Amino acid sequence: MASPAKRVTSRNSSTGKRAAILRAATRVFARNGYFNSKVADIARAADVADGTVYLYFKSKEEILHSIFHQNMAEAIAAARKLIKEVSDPREKLRRIASLHLQRLGADRDLAVVFQVELRGSTKFMEAFSAAGFAEYLGLLHDTFEEGQRAGVFRKDLNATIGAKILFGALDEMATNWIISHRNYKLEPMADVVMDVFLNGVSDGTPASGVQPAGGMPAK
Amino acid sequence: MASPAKRVTSRNSSTGKRAAILRAATRVFARNGYFNSKVADIARAADVADGTVYLYFKSKEEILHSIFHQNMAEAIAAARKLIKEVSDPREKLRRIASLHLQRLGADRDLAVVFQVELRGSTKFMEAFSAAGFAEYLGLLHDTFEEGQRAGVFRKDLNATIGAKILFGALDEMATNWIISHRNYKLEPMADVVMDVFLNGVSDGTPASGVQPAGGMPAK
DNA sequence: TTCCTTACTGAGTGACGATTCATTCATTCC
DNA sequence: GGAATGAATGAATCGTCACTCAGTAAGGAA
């Protein structure tokens, strides 16, 4: 009676229910906020009983954690894969930025959870920070440093700060996209941000085979 | 019996109590998060009875609102005043950025409330966005546009996006400063951010009586 | 058919915490 | 002095949920 399309054997429906609860929770958290969401709401949205939620998750908080971990792991893996295909650090950063906004832009509910709900308490922030978030910033950091070694980016800028500036700019694009209820595409903003950023951090010395980023070379 | 040191006349203690509650709430919210903070905690921290809180605020939520409004109004007024003293749009932005991080860096509890607690629900975010936040972004926007008209900033960048990029970068500096428990000064980060940002958005055409920002003119 | 296991159910519980309001008491005014 | 005022108090209320657990159902084995 539960879900109409059910072909898995009841044995391993396990996976299906778990995923359904996560999907439902993402939607519910996004709409009401984590603290205003009742576990009963999530259960109803996932079309399971209240108690079932606790067969898959230890607590309401663990649901939020799981949403974060799962998506973060996917995102980082995808980013790692994507930048292996190119060698120019600028292109690497462009791809990461694009992926970042593409993933959030593709699922508004998920974006809300990431941009809003996950930031709602220092306790969460620190826990998440320790987890995948730091790893993501680290990825930006390492790529930036790589660019500095390659002579593409200015060396007088701390790579950690460079990474934060880029992340902050992207993050704000995402947050603003959520708040503004207009209907524009998020992903293309990555290009604009990267244009300004790369322009801002490029090593001016015209050696290194660097063609002036996007801006105006001689005009 | 309540507070040992009580010298204000009961008449105008009004102002004092209200301010005390706001200060206490900022501390409590910063330490426990808004949703985990009990009104009783705030009352105890402010050295008043639970009920007294409701003589000054309609609800717990109104306390959070008040913290935001009051500080935002102060910040915007200060920023407006500060940029009237100079005419170069780049210098104006530098001052706003500096003020931004200086204010947050001066009061960690306030910073936590602004960077973390206020972001914790779309409901809040939208309410706040409508209030002072949009005005602040508008200030950045207008100043940026002014710079474009003056030929200091590239014209091929939407001013709204320029404002968001700058805000996002500063915002991330603040958030990271909170999460990282190291003890560095926040305000100086404004210079670094501004350096990258101005470099990234400067209009390359060396006309307009603009001496090339910090970067490298012909080198 | 009966028994067992596994997945699920949802009514109930216990704790919690925002808000209220009857009461106290210092101050002011006549 | 003594009435009136209103700021301040804090115990009591009352709704709200996160979580539990006794029970149901369905499949499979014997």
Protein residues with beta carbon less than 7 Å from any atom of strand D: A 9-10, 36-40, 50-51, 54, 59-61; B 1-3, 10, 13-14, 17, 47-52, 54-55
> B135-188: per-residue pLDDT in tens?
999 999 999 999 999 999 999 999 999 999 999 999 999 999 998 888 999 999
**Residue B57's pLDDT band (cuts 50, 70, 90):** very high
| Token pair 């210079």 in the structure block, residue | B191
Task: Say if residue B2's pLDDT is above 50.
Answer: no
Q: What is the pLDDT of residue A26?
A: 97
Which nucleotide comes closest to A16 if you measure CA to C1'? Answer: C7
Q: Distance in angstroms, CA of B43 to C1' of D9?
A: 11
Q: Residues with Cβ < 8 Å from B60, sequence gap 6 or more?
A: B37, B39, B42
Q: Ranked by mean pLDDT, which of A16-20, A165-169, A215-219 comes out on top?
A: A165-169
Judge: B192–A117 Cβ closer than 8 Å, yes or no: no
The mean pLDDT of A117-139, rounded to a whole number, is: 80
The Cα B51–Cα B43 span in angstroms is 8
Task: Say if residue A217's pLDDT is above 60.
Answer: no
| Cβ atoms of A175 and B180 closer than 8 Å | no
- Give the distance from residue A68's alpha carbon to the nearest chain B alpha carbon, in angstroms: 15
pTM as predicted: 0.86
Q: Residues with Cβ < 8 Å from B189, sequence gap 6 or more?
A: A161, B101, B173, B177
Residue that wins the pLDDT comparison between A44 and B3 = A44
Task: Compare CB distances from B199 to A112, A117, A200 and report the shortest one's residue.
Answer: A200
> B65-106: per-residue pLDDT in tens?
999 999 999 999 999 999 999 999 999 999 999 999 999 999
**Residue A53's pLDDT band (cuts 50, 70, 90):** very high
**Residue A131's pLDDT band (cuts 50, 70, 90):** confident
The mean pLDDT of B183-198, rounded to a whole number, is: 96
Q: What is the pLDDT of residue A204?
A: 74
Task: Compare CB distances from A35 to B35, B167, B216 and report the shortest one's residue.
Answer: B35
Which H, E and C letters describe chain B, residue by residue? CCCCCCCCCCCCHHHHHHHHHHHHHHHHHHHHCCCCCCHHHHHHHHCCCHHHHHHHCCCHHHHHHHHHHHHHHHHHHHHHHHHHCCCCHHHHHHHHHHHHHHHHHCCHHHHHHHHCHHHCCHHHHHHHHHHHHHHHHHHHHHHHHHHHHCCCECCCCCHHHHHHHHHHHHHHHHHHHHHCCCCCCCCCHHHHHHHHHHHHHECCCCCCCCCCCCCCCCC
Distances (CA, A) of A14 to A18, A46, A52, A57, B75: 6, 13, 11, 12, 52
Cα B132 vs. chain centroid, distance in angstroms?
A: 10
The Cα A157–Cα A141 span in angstroms is 11
Name the residue of chain A whose CA is nearest to B37's CA: A121
